[in-house]
Structure 1
Amino acid sequence: MQTNLINIDGVELWTEEFGHPSHPPVLLVMGSMSQGILWPDEFVGQLVAGGRRVIRYDHRDTGKSGTIDFDADPYTWHDIKDDVLRVMDAYGLESVHLVGHSAGGLISQLIAVERPERVRTLTVIGSSPLGGHEGEVIMRSLMGQPQPEGSLPPPLPEFVAYFTNAITSPPPAGRCEQIDELIAQARVLNGTALPFDEDAERQLAERVYERARDLSALVNHRRAAAADPGFEPEGVLHQVKAPTLVVEGTHEPAKPGHSAIIAERIPGAELLMIQDMGHMIAPQVCEPLAAAVLAHTEI
């Protein structure tokens, strides 16, 4: 394992590399406002044991990556998407097996459309279809507004209840409250089928808190999304050429049923439902998820 702090175009990104440099490269792209270490060590280790070179990284404004004065130097989700290419360039990789979770899956879909030569295979986990404007669906749910006909399926009631309360409550102040908030959020994203290990999640939340340069900076991802309404082009998923695996848990609370839509719109895509999995990559699903990614990236 080797960590690197890369700086391209003035963007400082913390990265971590595992496995032999000669092995097929797998680049892991985590979701919005999330650090790269939320790709579980167990999952990464199983990919490496299967003969893959694995790279994970912190998005800008998360973890050990650089923080940005958004008022002075605003950015958009297109910039966050281009950070994926910056990581690839820093490692001298012309193409990778691209694996994205949640909003990272959305980013990965767009890269597969725009830069097909850089994507060997595409794996999308717990995400929404590009052009589906999932953020608008969630906001209407939180505001108690009806969904227009043809919208994506809304999040489950427990997700809506938690985040409705979160956006109407004062932000957590201080270390203890912020860590408790991270744990509470993880409990919801875990879903209702798998046991939730609060002690393990507390250790992870403490790690997330301690390694962040500025935990409050992650809200800039929401500002970037608001500044970039054109991020999601519609009707383009048929252009994806990379062999695609789409993964969803049977107890997905945030984007239930979205993966089937992605798989339907990408030619030849395979849909995998993982029993009892929620939105987060819990320890219990690392083995089947890693096995699926290893099989998919043998192509």
Structure 2
Amino acid sequence: MTTEKLYRLNGVELCAETFGAPADPAILLIHGAGASMIWWDDRLCGRLAEHGRYVIRYDQRDTGRSTSYPVGAPQYAMSDLAADAAALLDALGVEQAHVIAQSMSGGIALILGVDHPDRVASLTIVSSSTGDEGLPPPVPTMPRVEAPDFGDRAAVEEYVVRAIEAEAAGQFDEASARALVRADLARTRDYEAAMTNHYAMTFDGPRHGGFGELTQPVLVIHGDADPLLPLPHGAAIRDAVPGARWLVMPGMGHGLSEPYWDAFVAAVLEHTR
């Protein structure tokens, strides 16, 4: 494992960290809306590295130690976040990577795969969606809670912990969730921006097509208990991508909780051979 490092790319600073040997096949991890790189757990990254993968995780704009924008005024589009990912690979000397994207960042993975196809060896899309009309909304049990007072650190911590619990569909470890949120709060430039700006950016798509134009091997992983993006969202990606592989995680919610790491690691190692 290396220490975190700031890279100046595309006019912004991105904080990244790597695990494993640079000579091994690269895996680029991209987490979902508002989530910094530490939402990809150190132990999970280490397990992939132990099996011969060069694992890269990073803070996207407005998360962690990367460049932050005024709250509600992000000066970028989703295609810019995809361009950041490609530029980070350049900075690390990685010609091509296996991209693993969670939730909202499935859209970033799509742009990478369609508009930067030479940089992508394969795609794994976890707990995401095509965004098509007619897909089911979040389940009724998902709480609708007002955003906290961001000047009250304890209130923010509690809000995010409870959000993790709601999305976990029963697979919830409070101690681990609270430790994650505290670490994230401690290292993030502006937590209100982190929880706001990804939802306020311009949601553009690939210039050269959609899911049907992906030519790389694609693995779609989805929990059948996902309360935020129910299972048909993942199935829509599977159906849109020719030849996509499909892995349903029984009982898993929206997050990739620890009880599912064994199955996740096994699937990713097989997919990235």
Do they superpose with TM above 0.5? yes
Q: Secondary structure at the match of 2:145?
A: helix
1:139 maps to which residue? Answer: none
Coordinate RMSD, CA, aligned: 2.0
- The verdict on how the C-alpha distance between 1:124 and 1:72 changes in structure 2, with shifts beyond 3 A counting, is closer
Matched, 1:221 2:222: no
Letter of the aligned partner of 1:280 in structure 2? G
- Tell me which residue corresponds to 2:164: 186
Q: Post-superposition shift, 1:246?
A: 0.2
Q: C-alpha offsets along residues 54-75 of structure 1, whole Å, 9 cap, x if unaligned?
A: 0000111111112134788722
Q: How many residues align?
A: 270
Is residue 157 from structure 1 mapped to residue 140 from structure 2 by the alignment?
Answer: yes
Give the 5 Å matches for 1:31-46.
31-46=32-47
What residue identity is the alignment partner of 1:156?
V
Within a 5 Å distance, the mapping from 1:95-244 to structure 2 comes to 95-129=96-130, 132=131, 151-159=134-142, 162=143, 164-166=144-146, 171-192=149-170, 194=171, 196-218=172-194, 219-224=196-201, 228-231=202-205, 236-244=210-218
2:236 to 257, 261, 265: 261
* CA distance in structure 2 between the partners assigned to 1:178 and 1:251 by the alignment: 26
Partner amino acid, structure 1, of 2:134:
S
Task: Kindly state the Cα deviation for residue 81 of structure 1 after the two structures are TM-superposed.
Answer: 2.0
1:50 deviates by 1.0
Cα pair distance change 1:182/1:239, threshold 3 Å = same
Task: Give the Cα–Cα distance (whole angstroms) in 2 for the partners of residues 67 and 14 of structure 1.
Answer: 12
How high is the TM-score relative to the length of structure 2? 0.93
Helix, strand or coil at the partner of 1:158:
coil
Please name the residue that 1:23 is paired with. 24
Distance 1:47 1:281, change over 3 A: same
- Partners of 2:254 and 2:73 in 1: CA distance: 34
Given that 2:77 and 2:203 are in contact with CA atoms closer than 8 Å, whether structure 1 keeps it comes out as no
Gaps of 5+ in 1: 134-149
Q: SS in structure 1 opposite 2:141?
A: helix
Q: Is the 8 A contact 1:172 1:181 kept in 2?
A: no
Change in CA separation of 1:73 and 1:41 when aligned onto 2, cut-off 3 Å: closer
Cα gap change, 1:165/1:85 in structure 2, threshold over 3 Å: closer, same or farther? same
Q: 1:211 to 1:48 in 2, by over 3 A?
A: same
- CA deviation vs aligned residue, 1:217-270 (integer Å, no higher than 9, x gap): 22122221xxx2543779721110000100001211111121111111111100
Aligned equivalents of 1:41, 1:157: Cα separation in 2: 33
Indicate if the aligned counterparts of 1:42 and 1:283 stay in contact, CA closer than 8 A: no
* Aligned mates of 2:129, 2:162 — CA distance in 1: 23
Q: Does the 8 Å contact 1:43/1:287 carry over to 2?
A: no
The DSSP-based 3-state class of the residue aligned with 1:157 is coil
SS at match of 2:252: coil
2: CA distance between counterparts of 1:211 and 1:72?
Answer: 21
Q: Which runs of 5+ in 2 are unaligned?
A: none
Q: Deviations over 1:126-166 (max 9, x none)?
A: 0012xx35xxxxxxxxxxxxxxxx5222211122xx2x333
Label 1:73 to 1:269 Cα distance change in 2 as closer, same or farther (>3 A). Answer: closer
